[in-house]
Amino acid sequence: MSAGIYVHVPFCLKRCGYCDFNAYAGMDHLAPRYVRAVLAEAALASPAWADELFVSVFLGGGTPTTLDPAGLKGLLAHLRHRFHVADDAEVTIEANPDTVDRPKLEALLAAGFDRLSMGAQSFDPSVLASLERIHEPASVRRAFLDARVAGYRNVSLDLIYGAEGETVESWERTLSETVDLGPEHVSAYALTVEPSTPLGRKVAAGVVPSPDPDLQADMFTLACDRLAAAGYVHYEISNWARPGFECRHNLGYWERRPYVGLGAGAHAYRDDRRWWNVRPPEEYMVLVESGVLPVGGEEHLEPSDAYLEEIFLRLRIFEGIPASWVEAERAAPFLESGLLLNNDGALVPTERGMLLLNELVLALAG
């Protein structure tokens, strides 16, 4: 089956207040050692994956572009050496606008990173400020144009909506600017407040209001409308792409294809087993350096777990689930109220249904 490789780079120039990813600021000095550790982990992990063909590689973070292009190039070459990576594999690297310039982008493209996923988040300076992002809207435009000039033909912009102070009008401007730049792919996420983050603590303390779910619903609807009008296909709840530019790697997660995860806290999946690496970079490196796979936890999916995953993952990519899987009376109220559609025997959420996906999943999975 066509598998994926995920590499986690846990370094950031600065932690954003809303972010609960496994990322650390001020640890850049560990970068060379960390890259060596990932190479070592690849060597340890690859024998078990000898039979897989990998159709995607994804460098996420953190901020992978905090690493220097030479290191990244070596890393990718090494992955190709250790794993059976298809020649036409999709190779994505995440970037922050302020960590890339034209020469760097040229180097990355030359190194084989042919898909760029840029964290734009917003084109509204006040929204960027409230998200504690370090870049300015102008940086996004500059970095995007640099990418085009450098030769990138597959660029994705990440957006976040529903931060404190953001209005529908401001979101509409962000969408317009995005469409005007014309990336091949757009991810738009509703801001989620995680309790463990600085933002989560501020919300709990009542210093910052919790995002208004109704406003976020309006923003979601607006994104659907604007992006569809600009020719983007809504192929996953938070993802839109020009036809043919859907993110192959992320689709792998949702289609329950196998993937190997390398780096601190990275997740892997194959044959109803999910496992993940230890999160702290130091611990990760020490384990790998002593020749041990740095697994921090794992779970074996029971058939009921696998079924629940199948349902919620299929629903979120509009693939839907065969109507025959679900008793008719479970689906009926949702078909009636317009949250579900029956497309030739597949139950597919409508856009309104997408927003209530949890309810749909719980009702349909029983």
Touching another protein, residues 84-123 (CB under 8 A): none
Residues in contact with 216: Cβ distance below 8 Å, sequence separation at least 6, in sequence order: 161, 162, 190, 191
The least distance separating another protein from the CB of residue 218, rounded to whole angstroms, comes to: 8
Q: Rg of the Cα trace of the chain? A: 21
Per DSSP, the three-state class of 32 is helix
DSSP 335-360: HHTTSEEEETTEEEE-HHHHHTHHHH
Pick one of 12, 60, 91, 157: the residue that binds another protein (CB under 8 A): 60
Name, in order, each residue with C-beta under 8 angstroms of 236's C-beta and a sequence gap of 6 or more. Answer: 246, 250, 251, 254, 316, 317, 318
Binding mask 257-286 for another protein (x = CB under 8 A): --x-x---xxxxx----x-x----------
User: Do residues 185 and 247 lie in contact, with contact meaning Cβ atoms separated by under 8 Å?
Assistant: yes
> For another protein, which stretch binds (CB under 8 A), given 68-76, 175-183, 252-260, 319-327?
252-260
354 contributes a contact to another protein by CB under 8 A: yes
- How open is the CA angle 82-94-299, to the nearest 5 degrees? 60
Residue 307 interacting with another protein (CB under 8 A): no
Name, in order, each residue with C-beta under 8 angstroms of 358's C-beta and a sequence gap of 6 or more. none
Q: Does 76 bind another protein (CB under 8 A)?
A: no
Distance from the Cα of residue 121 to its chain's centroid: 13
Regarding 54 and contact with another protein (CB under 8 A), the answer is: no
Q: Quick one: 124 or 158, whose CB is closer to another protein?
A: 158
Residue 190: CB minimum distance to another protein, A: 5
Structural element, H or E, at residue 74:
helix 69-82
Q: In the range 232-251, which residues lie near another protein by CB under 8 A?
A: 237-238, 250
Beta carbons of 150 and 105 less than 8 angstroms apart: yes
Contact call for residue 216 and another protein (CB under 8 A): yes
Site string for another protein, 332-351 (x = CB under 8 A): -----x-x------------
Chain residues in the site for another protein (CB under 8 A): 6, 8, 21, 60, 189-190, 192, 213-214, 216-217, 220, 237-238, 250, 253-254, 259, 261, 265-269, 274, 276, 299, 305, 308-309, 312-313, 316, 337, 339, 352, 354-359, 361-362
